Chain A
Amino acid sequence: MLWTQDYVSRGDFVENKNILEVKNLRTSFFTHVGEVKAIRGVGFHLKEGEAIGIVGESGSGKSVTSMSIMKLIQDPGKIVDGEIIFKEKDLVEFTQKEMQKIRGNEIAMIFQDPMTSLNPVFTIGNQIIEVIRKHKKMSKKEARKKAIEMLTLVGIPSPDKRVDQYPHEFSGGMRQRAMIAMALSCEPSLLIADEPTTALDVTIQAQILELMKNLKNEINTSIILITHDLGVVADVCSRIIVMYGGLIMEEATSEEIFYNPKHPYTKGLLKSIPKIDLGESQRLIPIEGTPPDLLNPPKGCPFAARCSDSMRICKEKQPPYFYTNEEHRAMCWLLHEDAPKTDTKAKGGIAIG
Chain B
Amino acid sequence: MGRFIAKRFISMLVTLLFVVTITFFLMHAAPGGPFSREKALPAPILKVIEERFNLDKPVYQQYLIYLKDVAKGDLGPSFQRVGWTVNEIIEKTFPVSAKVGGVSVLLVLILGIPIGIVSALKQNKWQDQLAMFFATLGVTIPSFVIGTLIVHIFSTNLRILPSNGLSTWKHYIGPVIALAGFSLSFVARLTRSSMLEVMQQDYIRTARAKGLSEFTVLTKHALKNALIPVISYVGPLVAAILTGSFVVERIFAISGMGKYFVESVGNRDYTVIMGVTVFYAIFLVVMVFVVDILYGLIDPRIKLDR
Contact = CB atoms under 8 A, between A and B. Distances in A.
A236 interface: no
A70 interface: yes
A108 B207 CA distance: 11
A103 B304 contact: no
A252 interface: no
Interface in B287-306: 298-301, 304
A131 B211 contact: yes
Contacts of A10: none
Contacts of A17: none
B301 A72 contact: no
A99 to B, nearest CB: 8
B211 A166 contact: no
B300 to A, nearest CB: 4
Contacts of A35: none
Given A111-B206, A168-B304, A103 B299 contact: no
B213 interface: yes
B209 A103 contact: yes
Contact of A119 (B206, B211, B298, B304): B206
Contacts of A113: 202
B203 to A, nearest CB: 4
Given A111-B202, A111-B205, A168-B304, A120 B210 contact: no
A134 B212 contact: yes
Contacts of B203: 116-120
Nearest to A116: B202
Contacts of B224: 121-122
A116 B211 contact: no
A7 to B, nearest CB: 26
Interface in B60-94: none
**Interface-centre pick from B205, B213, B228, B301 (highest chain A CB count, 10 A):** B205
Contact of B212 (A100, A111, A121, A179): A100
A120 B225 contact: yes
Given A117-B202, A120-B225, A168 B211 contact: no
Contacts of A131: 210-212
Nearest to B201: A116
A118 B206 contact: yes
B221 interface: yes
Interface string B202-238: 1101111111111000001100110010000000000
Given A116-B202, A117-B206, A166 B301 contact: yes
Given A100-B212, A113-B202, A120 B299 contact: yes
Contacts of B298: 121
A197 interface: no
Nearest to B199: A74
B209 A108 contact: yes
B245 to A, nearest CB: 34
Given A121-B225, A168-B300, A103 B210 contact: yes
Interface residue tally on A, bucketed by range: 20 to 34
A135 B211 CA distance: 8
B209 A70 contact: yes
Contacts of B202: 111, 113, 116-117
Contacts of A166: 300-301
A85 to B, nearest CB: 19
Contacts of B206: 109, 111, 117-119, 179
A130 B210 contact: yes
A275 interface: no
Contacts of B210: 103-104, 108, 130-131, 134, 182
A101 interface: yes
Interface string A76-119: 00000000000000000000100111111100110101001111
A122 B298 CA distance: 9
A182 B206 CA distance: 10
B188 to A, nearest CB: 22
A119 to B, nearest CB: 4
A225 to B, nearest CB: 16
A177 to B, nearest CB: 15
B196 to A, nearest CB: 12
A33 B300 CA distance: 41
Contact of A103 (B211, B220, B228): B211
Contacts of B220: 122, 130
A247 to B, nearest CB: 25
B299 A109 contact: no
Contacts of B212: 100, 104, 130-131, 134
B16 to A, nearest CB: 31
B238 to A, nearest CB: 24
Contacts of B209: 70, 72, 103-104, 108-109, 111
B208 A119 contact: no
Nearest to A102: B211
Given A116-B202, A116-B203, A120-B300, A103 B208 contact: yes
23 contacts: A72-B208, A102-B211, A103-B211, A104-B211, A104-B212, A108-B209, A113-B202, A117-B202, A117-B205, A118-B203, A118-B206, A119-B203, A119-B221, A119-B225, A120-B203, A121-B225, A121-B299, A122-B221, A130-B210, A134-B211, A134-B212, A166-B301, A168-B300
Interface of A: 70, 72, 96, 99-105, 108-109, 111, 113, 116-122, 130-131, 134-135, 166, 168-169, 179, 182
Closest 10 CB pairs of A and B: A103-B211, A104-B211, A104-B210, A116-B202, A119-B203, A131-B210, A166-B300, A109-B209, A117-B202, A100-B211
Given A111-B202, A120-B203, A166-B300, 5 more contacts: A100-B213, A116-B201, A120-B225, A121-B228, A134-B212
